Every structure is written in C-alpha cells, then in structure tokens.
Amino acid sequence: MSDLPESLLIDIGNSRIKYALVYAGRADFIVQYCMQIAELEPAIIRAQKVLVASVGKGLLVEELQTLCQQHQIECHSMQTQAQQFGISCAYEQFANLGVDRWLAILAARTITSEPVAIVDLGTANTCDIIINNQHIGGWIAPGFSVMKHSLLANTQKVFADNSLPANVVLGTSTPECVNHGCLAAVQGLVMMAELQLKKHAETYQILITGGDQHLITELKQSYFHFFPNLVLLGLSRFL
C-alpha cells in the first residue's frame, strides 16, 4: 500500500478554506485551515487526487485546478445531484442547492439512519432535514457576524462591542441587547429545526458543524452532535 494520502479534500467556504489529507484505508482525518489557494500546494503535491467543494468561488476553483495541473494531480469539482447514495434532494432544481449543503447531507447518513437535522453555523447559517433517505428541505439564514453587522449598518442609534456572549441573557445595555439578540437568533434556528423533526419522529439527531458551532454549546442535549466539518466528511464518500 502506498504511503501517499489517497486524496486531498477541500471545502472552499465564504471566509476560509478548510482541507484534509485523507489516507487510504483511514476513516478519520484532521481538518486544517488556510486563506489562499497557494497555501494548499504542499498538500497538493502529497496527494494522489483532489476533491473540492465550493459555492460561488469559481475563480478560486480555477486557481486550484491550475495548481493541480502544474503538479499533474487530478482535480474534481463536486456538484449537487438529484440523488446520490440513495439519498434524494428536495429541490426540484437540484443544482441550486449549494454543494456544501448537499455534501453535509450525504455525510449525515454515514453518521445516523434516524431523522436528522444538519445545522451549519458560519457566515451563513443553514439547516437541512432528512427523513429516511429523503431531504425534505431546509433554511438559509444570516450567520451571527452578518446579522450583527447588518443590524449596526441599517439601524439608527444601535451600537455594539466586540464581546461574544457565552449564553443568552436579557441585555441591560444596547451592546448587550445586540450581542445576546443575535445569539438568541442563532440558537432559535436550532430549536426550530428540532420542532420540525418532532413533527416526523419521536427520536432524532441534530448534527452541528461550522465555525460558529460554539455559539450553541449551552444547548446541551444528548442528540446534539458536533463535527469540525461535515462537508469534508461528505467528500470522503467519493473516495
């Protein structure tokens, strides 16, 4: 067996690039982060092939493909499909579902066969729900930082500081009200996802990923499970 990694998995997100070198025969991997495609070159030259997921970052994908060509490494840019691995997409125009969401959906079915909500918290917050092997739909909402910046930019006499609340309480100053209000909105998305699951099943799971997942750690439930990156796990299904 070659000692080379089998694949380099890349998730080009809104704010940073997440990647992992996945070794042949290994199900686990370490998620790493960078800001520029050029920073991936040391990992690319170690890989046998590259799988990439990106939403709206076409120029970065082209840069990555050029870099892979220079090193004669095959590069595959993944796309959402109507059905894969027996899982069906709720969107009639399935190509409009972001491939990051689709890959997280595919990852979820490697973790649990129960009804499940996949919540990704970052620049945008997304939620998708799977019942059996059918994706039944989801939500897209602004992330904590986007919500906060939009509020400050579009509302008079509202201001905030840079503090990040650990839990939701009632604010007694404008900065506290902004910070805790945005946090309440993030946590509310997760709570509404649970209400949707309760309509379909008595037992279920909620899988939480994304850079802002720490914002809901106070919502301690046995059916909450936290993951560094479900998109990369979804990519690993194609190895």
DSSP per-residue codes, 137-198:
EEEEEE-HHHHHHHHHHHSTT----S---SS----SSHHHHHHHHHHHHHHHHHHHHHHHHH
Q: Of 1, 39, 31, 34, which is closest to residue 15 (Cα–Cα)? A: 34
From the candidates 3, 28, 100, 161, give the one annotated as an active-site residue: 100
Question: In this structure, what are the phi and psi dihedrals at residue 193, rounded to the nearest 5 degrees?
Answer: -60, -40
Give the containing element (helix H, strand E) for 116. Answer: strand 116-121
Position 151, amino acid: L
Strand partners, 209: 120
100 flagged as catalytic:
yes
- Enzyme catalytic residues: 100
